Amino acid sequence: MPANLPPQYTEAEAKLKTAKTPQEKIKIYEELLAIMPKHKGTEKLQAQLKTKIAKLKEFSQKKPAVARHGPSFYIEKTGAGQVIAAGPPNSGKSSLIKALTGANPEVGDYPFTTRTAAPFMMKYENLRIQLVDTPPVTPDDIETGFPEILKAGDAVVLVVDLSTPDAALEIEALQIKLKEKKVEFAAEGRTIPPESRPFLKKTLIAANKCDLDGAEDALAELKIFFEGRLPVYPVSASRGDGLEEFKKAIFALLDVIRVYSKIPGKKADTNDPFALRQGSTVLDMAKAVHKDFVENFKYARAWRKNKLELQGVTVNRDFVLEDEDTVEIHI
C-alpha cells in the first residue's frame, strides 16, 4: 500500500539537511510523524521515525563523560605507526577496524558501543600498523582526553556514514571544535614540519557503507565538500569494498619507509623490516638496529630494489634511504 505522503512532509524532511543538534532533529522527526497520514502504508515509516527519535533522545540525555587525565588516554605505540580512527556514533568505525585488522572490537547497531580507546594491528604487506579505535565523538561531545589521543597519534582516519544526510556538516563542525583545542586535520600530501606534528595531523576520510543504496550520490557530495582539503576513500566494512586500496592509503599517510637489515654473508630478512621516516639515512638505520652501531660505524653497503646501479654499493652514514632498501652495516 503506498504511503501517499503530502507535500508538507517533503518540505519538513528537507530541514534535516541543516539540523545540527539532536534536539533539532528530534523536533523535525516529531513534526514528520504529525504530518504523516496514519494507515497501513506508513506503518513501517512510522516505526523508523519513532526509533530514530528514541535513539536521539537517549543520545541527548546521556551524561557527559567525566574528564579523564593521564595514562588512561595513553596508548603505547607499536608497529610502523599509530593511526587514530575517529567518527560520530554509528558511523561503522569499529566495524571498519574489524574488517581491516581481523580483530574483534565491540560492534553494535547503537550509539556509544565503543567506550574506551583500544589498539588493534593492521597487516599491510610485510609490516603492521596500529589502528586505535576511539569512543564516538560529536561537535557537542568531545571528551577531555580525546584531543590528546589525536595529538599522540601519527595520523587520523575520520569515518563517516554515507547513509547519514548531514555527515559532511558533522565532520566540518567537529574540525572547527577540535581546532579550538589545537588539533587540525591536513591532507595526505602536505609536508608537516616536526614542530607542528603534535597539532597538525595528516588525515583520510573513510566514506563507509558505500555498498548501500544512494551511497554513490552521497559519496560525490562528500568529495565535493572536502575537495582540496581532505581525501575521501569509499569503503564498505560489511562487504569489503575498497579495503585494500584504503590500507595502501593508510601506509602512504604515515610517511614511513621499510628498510631491511642484512648481516654480512647472509640474506636479508624481508619479513621483518625496520619502519623509518621518509628521508632517514643509513645512520638512522644504525640507531634503529643498535646504539652501539652508531658509535662503531665504519661504512655500509646498500641494495636498492629494482635499481641495478645500486646493487651492493658502499655508502656512508649520510646516504638517504628509500622504501625497501637493504642495508648491511659494518662496524
Give the 3-state secondary structure of the chain. Answer: CCCCCCHHHHHHHHHHHCCCCHHHHHHHHHHHHHHCCCCHHHHHHHHHHHHHHHHHHHHHHCCCCCCCCHHHHCCCCCECCEEEEECCCCCCHHHHHHHHHCCCCCCCCCCCCCCCCEEEEEEECCEEEEEEECCCCECCECCCCHHHHHHHCCEEEEEEECCCCCHHHHHHHHHHHHHHCCCEEECCCCCCCHHHCCCEEEEEEEEECCCCCCHHHHHHHHHHHCCCCCCEEECCCCCCCCHHHHHHHHHHHCCEEEEEECCCCCCCCCCCCEEEECCCEHHHHHHHHCHHHHHCCCEEEEECCCCHHHCCEEECCCCECCCCEEEEEEC
Is the model's pLDDT at 219 over the cut of 90? yes
- Comparing CA positions, the residue from 157, 159, 139, 160 lying closest to residue 149 is 157
- Average pLDDT on 156-164 reads 95
Give the integer Cα–Cα distance in Å for 245 and 266: 34
C-beta separation of 75 from 119 below 8 A: yes
**Residue 159 within a domain:** yes
Same domain, 115 and 41: no
- Output the pTM of the full model: 0.73
pLDDT of residue 67: 42
Q: Is the pLDDT higher at 147 or at 197?
A: 147
Domain boundary among the residues 253, 285, 303 is at: 253
Domain end point (choices 237, 253, 269):
253
Same-domain check for residues 218 and 76: yes
Q: Are residues 127 and 178 in the same domain?
A: yes
Mean residue pLDDT of the chain comes to 86
Give mean pLDDT, residues 20-45. Answer: 81
Is 237 found in the same domain as 135? yes
Q: Which of the residue ranges 122-136, 249-263, 291-305, 306-320 would you say has the lowest mean pLDDT?
A: 306-320
Mean pLDDT of 31-40: 84
CA–CA separation, 284 vs 118, rounded Å?
30
Residue 118: inside a domain, yes or no? Answer: yes
Per-residue pLDDT, 55: 75
pLDDT above 70 (res 19): no
CATH number for the domain harbouring residue 108: 3.40.50.300
CA angle 224, 228, 234 (to 5 degrees): 55
Whether residue 63 is predicted with pLDDT greater than 50 in this model: the reply is no
Range of the structural domain that residue 52 is part of: 7-61
With a CB cutoff of 8 Å and minimum separation 6, the contacts of 92 are 159, 161, 208, 209, 237
The answer to whether residues 195 and 325 belong to one domain is no
d(CA 87, CA 107): 14
Number of other CB atoms surrounding residue 172 within 10 Å: 14
Q: Looking at the domain assignment, is residue 94 inside a domain?
A: yes
* pLDDT value at residue 11: 77
- Residue 242 and residue 262 in one domain: no
Please say if the pLDDT value at position 65 is more than 60.
no
pLDDT score of 70: 39
Weakest-pLDDT range from 224-228, 291-295, 324-328: 291-295
Q: Give yes or no for residue 24 having a pLDDT over 90.
A: no
User: pLDDT tier at 40 (50, 70, 90 boundaries)?
Assistant: confident
Domains contained in the chain, number: 3
pLDDT of residue 58: 67
- Is 186 in the same domain as 128? yes
User: Domain end: 18, 43, 61, which one?
Assistant: 61
Q: Which residues contact 79 (CB under 8 A, 6 or more apart)?
A: 121, 127, 128, 129, 130, 275
Residue that has been written with the C-alpha cell 539537511 in this structure: 17
Of the listed ranges 56-60, 149-153, 252-256, 323-327, the one predicted with least confidence: 56-60
- Do 78 and 146 share a structural domain? yes
- In this structure, the answer to whether residues 155 and 94 fall within a common structural domain is yes
Which residue is listed with cell 585488522? 101
